[in-house]
Structure 1
Amino acid sequence: MASQSDLKIPLAISAGVHIGAIVILALGVSFDDKPKPTPQAASAPAIQAVVVDQQRINDHVEKLKKQKQDAENKEKARQAELERQANEARKAREQEQQRIKNLEIQRKQKELETQKANEAAKAAKIKQQQEKERAQQAEKLRKQKEQERIAAEEAAKKAAEKRRQEEAAAKKAEEERKRKAEEERKRKQREAEKARQEQEMADALAAEQAALSQTRNKQVLSEVGRFTAMIRATIQRNLVVDENMRGKNCRVFIRLAPDGLVISSQTLEGDQVVCRAAKAAINKAGRLPVSNEPDVYNKLKEINLLVSPEFN
């Protein structure tokens, strides 16, 4: 747009210059040569008319020359003006071109600045996004740490409550243990006292029983000895002897029923002849003397006897 307006002014100036030159040429052709007189007959009025006409022509020529000179001066002035305008137009065009160049430089500078600004804005946006992400990450980390802190506090509270409960339970258990220990101590003390009393009673009873038992044992042993002698006498009565048995003997084992019935008999050691005779005598007797008293019978139900033949 600015370049087309700059071209219009020089074109107008050039067109004006050419038109002026054409006008000057036309004037120069029309008025430089004086008009030639037409041959006429010689007469005074004619000469006077010619002189008058010539004067007019001269005046007219001078006028034309003056007009021409004025026109040339005007043309020179116009040309000078046109030149001045052309110079001004050129200067204006150069200034405009410089302005356009400066504007282009400014435009490029602004584009560069805009580009830098866009890049800076983009970088700032990226930085802002990064800062936002870092802030979000930091907030997330803060919330996570806050949750961990809360969880730790809750865990600590639960642990403290559990420890308190355990301590209370331990204290209660210790009190229960002490109570049971005290009860156990008292029970053992009572049992010990009871045992002591029972032991004293048992000792007294044992002493009494020992005294009685000793008396009874003497009685039992006396009865056992008496019944043993009776059993031996019964076997001797049924024993068939001869002179070959003199000085010899046999040990026999006898098992008796409560009524004295011989359950079994067995020779253990001794002279074979005496052992056969002793076993035959026992079988012949079939029933041996025993006591009806249990403690005496218990000592007689299984008896070892040494059978020795007796001679008159």
Structure 2
Amino acid sequence: MPKLHFKWSREITVPLGLSLALHVVLVTVLLAGLNFSSLTKPKQVLQVSLNNPEAPLDEMPQDSEVVEAVTFDQAQVDAQIAAIQQAEAERKAAEERRIRELERRAEEAKRQREAEQRKQRELAAQQEAERKRLAQEQAAAKAERERIEREKREAEAAAKAAEEKRKREEEAARKAAEERERLERERQQREREAREKAERERQLQERLAQEAAARRTARMQQIQSELDRYTVLIQQTIQRNFNRDESMRGKQCELTISLSPSGFVKSVTTGSGDTAVCNAAQTAVLRAGTLPVSEDREVYEQMSVIKLTFAPEF
């Protein structure tokens, strides 16, 4: 139990003063009773008034104000002491009851204050909870309104975007169809032009091929004619440098001659044929040293290594 603190008041100081005065009287009477038998003359005693227990001790009679002592018997003193003790006990009991009552009232007041404080706190908590609940409801309602408005705006924006997308797709489809048609026309035009160009190219190539073939034929004929002519000239040169013998009549020899662009004989080899004719022909070629060669590059390439059959003439 918590300690209780009391302030000194008239309700406490008065009984305490009375108790103190009674104790003083009790002590005085006891001292007087011990000396009754030895008294030879009246003694001065302190007269205490019990009618005014609240009178302070400094207002009690001084030594100059004395009265004659009254002689008491022991029984009367004991009775008075018992009465005083009984009164003191009752007073203490009453005081204790009063203090307990004050403590009970103080505790009750404390409980009431605490209960009131709890009630106030609970009320404040309820009010705060209600305020929060209302705030949450308002916030939720606001959020719901904002959500509905947002969804409405989003739906309108989506519908607008869908309509714009549809229009764009239709326009794109129309342009794509037009572009496909244009590309198809251009493709057909390019194909016609390509076919015509290919036909012209084919005809041109055919004509060029024919012309080239004709030129090649003419050139080959020209080269062959030159080869034939220079073969004859080489044969004549060998004939001029050849040493004949009657035994060689009707005989021949195959020769392979390597010539430089200037006609210089680089080498000469013999193949099948009469040995005497081959040896004499080889000697004749080397003796000549230089044989007739065409200045035409293509003709020379054909005769740089020339093969011929040599038969001595008689």
TM-score range, shorter chain: 0.3 to 0.5
TM-score by length of 2: 0.43
Larger radius of gyration: 1
- Identify, as 1 or 2, the structure richer in helix: 1
TM-score by length of 1: 0.44
